[in-house]
A and B are shown apart, each in its own frame.
Chain A
Amino acid sequence: MKNLELRYVAHVTALSGCLVESHQTRASSIRDLVKELDGRYRGFQELFVNPETGSLNLNAMIYYSAPNEVPITVVDLDQPIVDGGTLTFW
């Protein structure tokens, strides 16, 4: 299991109901994590993943940082995630 910190910004908080939360997951990539979060927050996947191309929606953004590293802007949803990582969804 991986422990992650998930941060939700602006309109995304309308789905999550919170600004930040700790999350335990077996997801190995951001794509898997988004799918998992869609089970908890209906509409989450639609907000971030283009159903036609499977890539990140052009009007959405995710920052990901591994422990002690500066966040990167996510280009590839298959980006692996590691224990202790932080993701910001907006």
Chain B
Amino acid sequence: MTVRNNSSQTILWIDLSLRKTRLETLPSDWTGKYLGCRGVTARLLFDEVPAGTDPLGPDNVLFFGTGPLDGLPVGMGRISIACKSPRGTVAEGSSGGFFGPELRRAGVDYVAIRGQAEKPVYLYIQDGKVEIRDARHLWGLMTDEVDAALRRELVDPDTQFRYIGPAAENLVHASPIFGNLNASGGRAGCGQVMGSKRLKAIAVRGTSGIRVADYDGFVQAYKVLRQRLDLATSRDMWTPVWSTYGAPVLARLFPDLGNLMTRNAQEMSWDYDKAMRISSEPYLDRYVTKAKACWCCPWPACQKLHRIESGRYAGFKGGNYWAAQPVVFGSLIDNDDLELLLVLSGLCNRHGLDVFHVGYTLAWAMECFENGLLTTADTDGLELRFGCPDKDGLIDLVGKIARREGFGNLLALGCAEASKIVGQGSERFCLTVKGQELEGIPQRNLYMVALGIAVSEVGPDHTRWYPPYPCNPSLISKEELADLGVDLDLRLAFQGRNPEQKGRLLRWFTISRAVVESMPSCVFLVRDTLGLDMRPWWNLFNAATGIGLEYEAFITAGERLMNLDRAFNIREGYRRADDRPPTRMATEDVPGFGYPRLAPEIFEPMLDEYYEANGWSVTTSIPTAGKLQALGLDDVIGQFSALGIEVEA
């Protein structure tokens, strides 16, 4: 058996137009400069997709990235999926499962796909060899159908897949890429880009082993990580909840705090009885058939498979009831029917739709309908009201969005584009940033979240800074923090509605999470002190790769990645004015709680602090020359200069 090390990384280039492929080794210093996974795909995206590239044309490049820790117990099977979003921003998302480890075992760390196939194709990668195969028989299949069809075709049960559903084939807004039936990644439109290339799926099988450079050091470091994560020893209030019942309990914890976006965030609370009906407890009691964690994850409750046994949806199977679904198909549309919620969410997965796109766009349409901006003449006869009186109509509508039929064709554009067409002030109901729909975490009660959502280069994406709180201040002293290079007052940072420190806190969170996702590992496992004290991650990385990276250089790799993402967007014309919360959050107080709107006097100083802390221009948000030089990104300055983009010293 071939055994791979982790210090150098390979990339498989595929041109679907020319039907040519080549396997290369990345420059040897990239593992130190960019670590891997998200760090490397950020570098590749900046280099390979120039400003002005048509996102749905042949020159956009779709990257799949693993990293030095993928295939080891720490990697959790994470991959980075990246390309230029159809909205023009960076599109990058992380996804779990088993595809990443299998790709590494096949001798490939990154796949870069450019061009457009003449007819639908899929890729079959086996131990470093790749075939571009006919996929006309797979085109149009739902995600569960293509999964089953490929398993029948390729026989080997250990083959892993990534695929798109009909929504991405039809270039529906925000469509992600799926795998392991219900795991999705790249909600910023990576699936759309894959669809534009007529690439239905990637299948991968590998037989190599993966060897760590320092076995004893790795085991020792891994024990420290597990101590921070295990139920008996973790010092994090979320560990018992997340590792046993999973995230949907937020439906019960959020309403009383004014944190649950209800009826398109017109309200931030919800009837407690309704919240109880869609929380984790009834879900586990009645529907869960199996826990199904990602590669080597210690938290089996994160992913689950479920089945509805009886009633109008009897026999409906699905998976992955996370924190998002109780919001987007629960409180946001005022639905407390858990079975309807599971069906809507499951249909999104099958069609290959993004649940946030569909949930927020439905909620927008409901508010438009209730305000007379849309009527049954627009909605194909559907009474599109909060509370979901026409359940069958809603279920049909999900399929129509994926197929771009009738009223579904409007919603397929996403909330921001649809509101431009409907006009009449409907933009006020649209909860998007940079054209992408929000997620489930509130903003007017958690200022760092508001800032994080507004500045994110990919559009709203909680994984950029998750979890949104520092560890318990009693676990780490000011002196220890200073030694770790973290200049924060944790007491202030903990105060959700105090704007002080939020810019600096967010900067640290985005850098440290970028590091975690570049190893890669999973940001949902950033618990206990693991979000502030990065030494356990650093020890694992060095033990796995043997490259002896200094701690400061390890952290700087995360900052380099952040600056590359920002530079990509700057090159496309994004500036400070684009880093804004949705209009509703900026202009409406939270009813019933007294939480004020994110008015400029609250929001702008946080934004200033964030840019200053990053070494970016406070006026434009463009990284300064000094910062780019310090990060070794002189080439970015050169590109800005060639494009006439002014860079401050």
A71 lies within 8 A of B257 (CB): yes
Give the CA-CA distance A9 to B272 in the complex, in Å.
13
Give the CA-CA distance A86 to B256 in the complex, in Å.
10
Give the CA-CA distance A19 to B282 in the complex, in Å.
10
Give the CA-CA distance A54 to B256 in the complex, in Å.
27
Chain A contacts for B475, CB-based, 8 A: 58
B256 lies within 8 A of A58 (CB): no
Complex partner residue of A10 from B234, B249, B256, CB under 8 angstroms: B249
Nearest Cβ on chain A to B356's Cβ, whole angstroms: 24
Tell me whether A70 and B258 are in contact in the complex, defined as CB-CB below 8 angstroms, given that A19-B276, A20-B276, A90-B253 are known contacts: yes
Complex partner residue of B237 from A19, A59, A65, A86, CB under 8 angstroms: A59
Q: Is B240 positioned at the interface, with any CB of A under 8 Å from its CB?
A: yes
Give the CA-CA distance A63 to B241 in the complex, in Å.
15
Chain B contact-residue range equals 20 to 34
B239 lies within 8 A of A88 (CB): no
A59 lies within 8 A of B236 (CB): yes
Give the CA-CA distance A70 to B253 in the complex, in Å.
12
B252 lies within 8 A of A9 (CB): yes
Give the CA-CA distance A20 to B281 in the complex, in Å.
12
Give the CA-CA distance A10 to B299 in the complex, in Å.
14
Q: Is A31 positioned at the interface, with any CB of B under 8 Å from its CB?
A: no
Label chain B's interface by main secondary structure: helix
Binary CB contact string for chain A from 1 to 32 against chain B (1 if under 8 A, 0 otherwise): 00000010111010000011000000000000
B237 lies within 8 A of A63 (CB): no
Chain A contacts for B593, CB-based, 8 A: 70
Number of residue pairs spanning A and B whose beta carbons lie under 8 angstroms apart? 60
B472 lies within 8 A of A88 (CB): no
Binary CB contact string for chain A from 39 to 67 against chain B (1 if under 8 A, 0 otherwise): 00000000000000000001111010100
B235 lies within 8 A of A90 (CB): no
Closest to B593 in A: A70
Q: Is B244 positioned at the interface, with any CB of A under 8 Å from its CB?
A: yes
B237 lies within 8 A of A61 (CB): yes
A59 lies within 8 A of B235 (CB): yes
Complex partner residue of A58 from B235, B252, B253, CB under 8 angstroms: B235
Complex partner residue of B256 from A20, A59, A60, A65, CB under 8 angstroms: A65
Chain B contacts for A10, CB-based, 8 A: 240-241, 244-245, 249, 280-281
B281 lies within 8 A of A11 (CB): no
A7 lies within 8 A of B240 (CB): no
Chain B contacts for A59, CB-based, 8 A: 234-237, 239-240
Chain A contacts for B276, CB-based, 8 A: 19-20
Give the CA-CA distance A70 to B245 in the complex, in Å.
25
Closest to B239 in A: A59
Interface residues of B in 218-269 (CB under 8 A from A): 234-237, 239-241, 244-245, 249, 252-253, 256-258
Q: Can you list 26 contacts pairing A with B, beta carbon distance less than 8 Å?
A: A9-B249, A9-B252, A9-B281, A10-B240, A10-B245, A10-B249, A11-B240, A11-B245, A13-B281, A19-B279, A58-B235, A58-B236, A58-B474, A59-B234, A59-B239, A59-B240, A61-B237, A63-B256, A63-B257, A65-B256, A70-B256, A70-B257, A88-B252, A88-B253, A90-B240, A90-B253
Interface residues of A (CB under 8 A from B): 7, 9-11, 13, 19-20, 58-61, 63, 65, 70-71, 86, 88, 90
Q: Kindly list 16 other residue pairs between chains A and B, CB separation below 8 angstroms, not including A20-B272, A58-B237, A88-B256.
A: A10-B244, A10-B245, A10-B280, A13-B281, A19-B276, A20-B276, A58-B236, A58-B472, A59-B235, A59-B239, A65-B256, A70-B593, A86-B256, A88-B253, A90-B240, A90-B253
